[in-house]
């Protein structure tokens, strides 16, 4: 294992194993509640991932009993209006860095994913959750509203009426509910979450990395384009792969009946 980007006392740990970057929220004593240092650290970690040529997949997870319970209310109670304004300028940058990461990002969710913690998961491409995870955008029960993309991302996943109901009420729900609604891709027993995520990350990492990056870009931009423009974009991104070494390797491997050896070139 290669460890990079964070010190022993940092609230986020980055470790790289093979082609997978593991981003671990590391404040287990407060159920990984997000404070300003954690947001700043996440921003730095995802910048490092963009510069890590060998990384093909990213896993975001939480240490201890929870994925993330949202904002650190103890820190927030001590913040001035100016402090809160500075933090609000930082927060959208963090969620954007995660959402726009060029590599696929998988959330490994267990225990609790509440408020900003659920928004961290929603900013990932794929969510694997424990069946008994307690989830919810609970901000309205605290006199606030989602501020990390929840009002934009949740409707895209579960539909506008259900998203409105969940956000207006601040209702909590389980990983099983989330799977039924399409919010998460997999809901499995808690003991199986890590193995399911590792298997998925390995499967993604085995695919041609340039092709995966271009496919992710095409899918993400599809929500902003009319179908004709989207198809034109897809064709343009496809053309960029035609002369890649990986495409030639994939064709050769298929002809020769062997696994491909992709190099990201």
74's tokens = 């103890």
Per-residue DSSP letter, 13 = E
End-to-end Cα, the chain, rounded Å: 24
Distances (CA, A) of 67 to 8, 30, 231, 233: 19, 11, 37, 36
Check pLDDT > 60 for residue 3.
Answer: no
Residue found under tokens 């989207």? 230
Domains of the chain (ranges, CATH numbers): 2-206 (3.90.226.10), 209-256 (1.10.12.10)
Reported as a single tens digit per residue, the pLDDT across 28-78 is 999 999 999 999 999 999 999 999 999 999 999 999 999 999 989 888 888
pLDDT of residue 5: 46
Q: What's the confidence (pLDDT) of residue 238?
A: 85
pLDDT of residue 8: 58
**Per DSSP, what are the bridge partners of residue 174?**
134
Catalytic residues: 119, 139
DSSP state, residue 34: B
Return the number of other C-beta atoms located less than 10 Å from residue 201's C-beta: 25
Task: Give me the pLDDT at residue 21, please.
Answer: 98
- pLDDT at position 2 is 43
Give 12-31 pLDDT, tens digit per residue. 999 999 999 999 999 999 99
Q: Does residue 26 contact residue 12 with C-beta atoms inside 8 Å?
A: yes
């Amino acid at each position: 294992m290669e460890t990079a980007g964070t010190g022993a006392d940092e609230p986020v740990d980055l470790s790289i194993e093979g082609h997978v970057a593991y981003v671990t929220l590391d404040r287990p004593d407060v159920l990984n509640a997000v404070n300003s240092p954690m947001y700043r650290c996440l921003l730095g970690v995802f910048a490092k991932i963009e510069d890590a040529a060998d990384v093909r997949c990213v896993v975001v997870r939480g240490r201890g009993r929870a994925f993330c319970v949202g904002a650190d209310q103890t820190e927030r109670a001590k913040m001035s209006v100016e402090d809160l304004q500075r933090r609000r300028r930082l927060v959208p940058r963090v969620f954007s860095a995660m959402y726009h990461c060029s590599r696929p990002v998988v959330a490994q969710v267990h225990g609790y994913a509440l408020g900003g913690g659920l928004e961290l998961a929603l900013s990932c491409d794929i969510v694997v959750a424990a069946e008994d995870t307690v989830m919810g955008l609970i901000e309205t029960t605290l006199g606030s509203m989602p501020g990390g993309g929840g009002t934009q991302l949740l409707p895209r996943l579960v539909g506008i009426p259900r998203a409105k109901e969940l956000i207006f009420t601040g209702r909590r729900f389980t990983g099983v509910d989330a799977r039924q609604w399409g919010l998460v891709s997999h809901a499995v027993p808690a003991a199986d979450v890590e193995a399911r995520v590792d298997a998925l990350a390995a499967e993604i990492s085995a695919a041609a990395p340039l092709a995966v990056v271009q496919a992710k870009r095409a899918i993400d931009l599809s929500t902003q384009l009319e179908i004709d423009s989207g198809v034109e974009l897809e064709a343009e991104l496809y053309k960029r792969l035609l002369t890649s070494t990986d495409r030639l390797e994939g064709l050769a491997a298929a002809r020769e009946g062997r696994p491909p050896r992709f190099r990201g070139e």
